[in-house]
Amino acid sequence: MVNGFIQASYFVVAVVFILGLKAMSSPVTARKGIVWAGYAMVAATVVTFFTPGMGNVGLMVLAIVSGGAVAWWSGKTVKMTDMPQMVAIYNGMGGGAAAAIAALEFARGEVHGPVAATLAVLGALIGSVAFSGSCIAFAKLQGIMQKAWRLPAQNQVNIALAAVAVLLGLGIIMSDTPASFLVVLFFIVALALGVILTSPIGGADMPVVISLLNAFTGLAVGFEGYVLGNPALIVAGIVVGASGTLLTQLMAKAMNRPITNVIFTPLTGAASGGGEAVEGTMKEFSSLDAASVMRYASKVIIVPGYGMAVAGAQHKVWEMAQLLEEGGVEVVFAIHPVAGRMPGHMNVLLAEAGVPYDKIFDLEEINADFAQADVALVIGANDVVNPVARTDKSSPIYGMPILNADMAQNVIVVKRGKGAGYSGIENALFYKDNCRMLYGSAQQAIGEVIQHVKALEA
């Protein structure tokens, strides 16, 4: 009777997980979907306590209270600009938990049968890679690891470590009671593989990596759910793994780079190189000039990037947009799929500032409008508006779909300095005749523009 109740509850929880994920597909219903999924997770946790013969209840309660307190505090205090690294580390915790479950089951000798053993090993391997890889992603996004590093024979080391992990995993699967040293060595190699795979990957590829690691975590949780005989974990893990895989494919497509290239040929400033030399000079604009051009424009398209996020300027940008709209200017926002440091990063920041959803357009929806725009205002974005992606076959980003900001009548670029983007490639847009550079942090530069727009209105 009790088992039937628990299984029925897990089924309901799984259905709510799926409905919550579906609701997250639209900005209008995303918050509702997150709340549904959160309540479902609470229900699944509570129901688990009714499992007959459950032990270590005190330790479970202690873990839930302590983990919940840390999550509550971090969720309340984290800045929106730090959300990518928070997503990365939370994702890593999921993978680590799946790997820890497998380790515990092997230590207790509770994994029986070749199918269960195989899935336990796969979950442990994928979860370990997701955990250590996510820790590296967190360190990069947090600024703890300032530079990507790459071994002299990086890909060969990756293949060798993966082969060793597979061989060790096969040894565990074929042994009824695997030796402790074999299990420990397997986890050491798997964790090392995650570190070495992720360390060379630079900021330009980070949104794809976060999405890929998220898919890894989902698959690991699903596999370990089978080992534990828990349908809620199976469904939740496979749903997350499948959605994460689809998102990874979409992100890679948005960069026109196969996922294998992201992993084995990462785009970093040190390794990108190539490309034709950019001719011309950058032409500077004052904040008054920028305010005047936008105030008397008919249509302004704003392209936000990570520079806006770092400066925390999304509220200032929306304030400026509202002032322009009050003056009769049409203002919309254009978002590239890989703008920022995680999928949907710019959308989250704009939503936090109160920008209506109907003013935010993705690449396919907005690209044709740039040619009719009087001004394209690029704020802290770089590679996603670099026209060499269309013209220079020798460039590492050639073929990557970009926002057609260069086709606007006037382009204003807000940038802190003259450095290149995450990929280390010089941006030809900055040297075009219709482009002007407004130097300074986005917060300060847009603040000055706002003051000048107000003065022009007076």
* φ, ψ for residue 413, nearest 5 deg: -115, 120
Q: 96, 67 in Cβ contact below 8 A?
A: no
Helix axes 83-108, 206-228, angle to 10 degrees: 30
Nearest-Å Rg of the Cα atoms of the chain is: 25
Active site residue 358: no
Catalytic residue among 205, 362, 374, 383: 383
From CA 38, how far away is CA 92, in angstroms rounded?
18
Q: Residue 143: which region, alpha, beta or left (left: phi > 0; alpha: psi -120 to 50)?
A: left
Active site residues: 383
